[in-house]
């Protein structure tokens, strides 16, 4: 439980939550640890529900139903992502853009999340998963994978893709690019030789530091590192007509830059949340492309250690809490 931002999580014992109308109660098997959890922890995202249970890459078994929840979900393994509820009535929801809902609620931010043994979740945002999937390996797909997939669709169909920040999202997305016969150029922190090695191992054709120029112009670049100073660097690396996608929910300020970096019909776009359609599409891609995740499991009681290691860049792939 997070009592106040920027204070260590506290291990507490609480009654299991009761699912409200339209909700399901899930016994959590695994919950990924995402950089967005750090942004909530650090207070980068305003007005979290406090006290709060973090975690929005949830895999578990539905053990109880609230009124109106589909009976077919009982006993099924499901995944719960960051976007935990939408209003269904605003212009965005009605226009097929529920990721931009005017009154959303977010798992592990404005709703209690999955750093727990049980969580109550909106049945509409509990995606049925194949029984054969491993919960620990699957958890990072619920945010790192989904946001990476949405970022890639916004980047277009170019053949040369730059990935800035090679962590949980990028190591999944690199495999998707390989499946789509796209070339991945990976950018890591200066001096991070282990990060370069990991990127090459995951299929990148080139890996260098974020202050280097790739060996050929990029059709698109996707930024997972929350560093605004990378936007001008990425613009300088993409060819005319190229797209720079900012894949994070929070980023430091983008510095002033010369207009010539943007000129030539280059674009800078952001990705916000996900839609249920994204989830269904991506889970099909996971199966077709045989995506595998690299994970480091932690017991639930070591959630603070997992967050600290993520912050320090001591992880390849993703950290996952196991109940």
Q: Express each pLDDT in 256-289 by its tens digit.
A: 999 999 999 999 999 999 999 999 999 999 999 9
The CATH number that applies at residue 73 is 3.90.180.10
| Average pLDDT for 15-34 | 97
- Together in a domain, 154 and 261: yes
For residue 28, the enclosing domain spans 23-142+293-322
- Together in a domain, 36 and 81: yes
- Together in a domain, 157 and 129: no
- Together in a domain, 222 and 306: no
Q: Is residue 18 part of a domain?
A: no
In this prediction, what percent of the chain has a pLDDT beyond 90? 97
- Structure confidence at residue 312 (pLDDT): 92
- Residues 280-315 pLDDT 10s: 999 999 999 999 999 999 999 999 999 999 999 898
Distance (Å, whole) CA 234 – CA 244? 7
- Together in a domain, 248 and 202: yes
- Together in a domain, 120 and 106: yes
Q: Is residue 275 part of a domain?
A: no
User: In the Cβ-directed half-sphere of 266, how many Cα atoms lie within 13 Å?
Assistant: 25
Beta bridge partners, 299, equal: 322
- Together in a domain, 171 and 128: no
Overall domain count for the chain:
2
- Together in a domain, 153 and 254: yes
- Structure confidence at residue 113 (pLDDT): 98
The CATH number that applies at residue 163 is 3.40.50.720
Confidence band, pLDDT 50/70/90 cuts, at residue 103: very high
- Structure confidence at residue 244 (pLDDT): 98
- Structure confidence at residue 214 (pLDDT): 97
Q: Is residue 188 part of a domain?
A: yes
- Structure confidence at residue 231 (pLDDT): 98
Provide CB contacts within 8 A for 161, sequence distance 6+.
152, 155, 177, 182, 183, 184, 185, 218, 219, 220, 221, 222
- Structure confidence at residue 320 (pLDDT): 98
H/E element holding 60?
strand 57-65
- Residues 55-70 pLDDT 10s: 999 999 999 999 999 9
- Together in a domain, 155 and 87: no
- Together in a domain, 130 and 27: yes
- Together in a domain, 155 and 261: yes
| Average pLDDT for 168-179 | 96
Q: Is residue 13 part of a domain?
A: no
Q: Is residue 52 part of a domain?
A: yes
Please tell me which residue, 131 or 138, carries the higher pLDDT value.
138
Helical ranges in 7-54 per DSSP H: 35-42
Instruction: Find the range with the poorest average confidence among 76-80, 89-93, 177-181, 311-315.
Output: 311-315
């Amino acid at each position: 439980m997070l009592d106040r931002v920027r204070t260590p999580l506290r291990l507490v014992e609480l009654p299991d939550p009761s699912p409200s109308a339209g909700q399901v109660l899930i016994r959590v098997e695994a919950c990924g640890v995402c950089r967005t959890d750090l942004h909530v922890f650090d207070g980068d995202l305003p007005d979290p529900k406090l006290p709060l249970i973090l975690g929005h890459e949830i895999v578990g078994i539905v053990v109880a139903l609230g009124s109106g929840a589909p009976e077919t979900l009982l006993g099924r393994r499901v995944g719960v992502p960051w976007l935990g509820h939408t209003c269904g009535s605003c212009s965005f929801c009605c226009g097929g853009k529920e990721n931009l809902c005017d009154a959303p609620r977010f798992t592990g931010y404005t709703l209690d999340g999955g750093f727990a043994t049980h969580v109550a979740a909106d049945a509409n945002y509990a995606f049925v998963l194949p029984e054969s999937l491993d919960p620990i390996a699957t958890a990072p797909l619920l945010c790192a994978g989904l946001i990476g997939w949405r970022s890639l669709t916004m980047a277009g169909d170019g053949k040369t893709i730059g990935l800035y920040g090679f962590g949980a999202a990028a190591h999944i997305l690199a495999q998707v690019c390989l499946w789509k016969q796209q070339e991945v150029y990976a950018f890591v922190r200066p001096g991070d030789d282990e990060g370069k090695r990991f990127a090459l191992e995951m299929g990148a054709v080139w890996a260098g530091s974020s202050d280097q120029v790739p060996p050929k112009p990029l059709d698109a670049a996707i930024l997972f590192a929350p560093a605004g100073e990378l936007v001008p660097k990425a613009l300088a690396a993409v060819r005319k007509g190229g797209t720079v996608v900012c894949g994070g929910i929070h980023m430091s300020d983008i510095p002033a830059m010369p207009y010539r970096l943007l000129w030539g019909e280059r674009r800078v776009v952001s990705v916000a949340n996900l839609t249920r359609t994204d989830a269904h599409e991506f889970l099909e891609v996971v199966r077709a492309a045989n995506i595998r995740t690299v994970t480091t499991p932690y017991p639930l009681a070591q959630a603070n250690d997992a967050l600290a290691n993520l912050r320090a860049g001591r992880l390849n792939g993703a950290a996952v809490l196991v109940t």
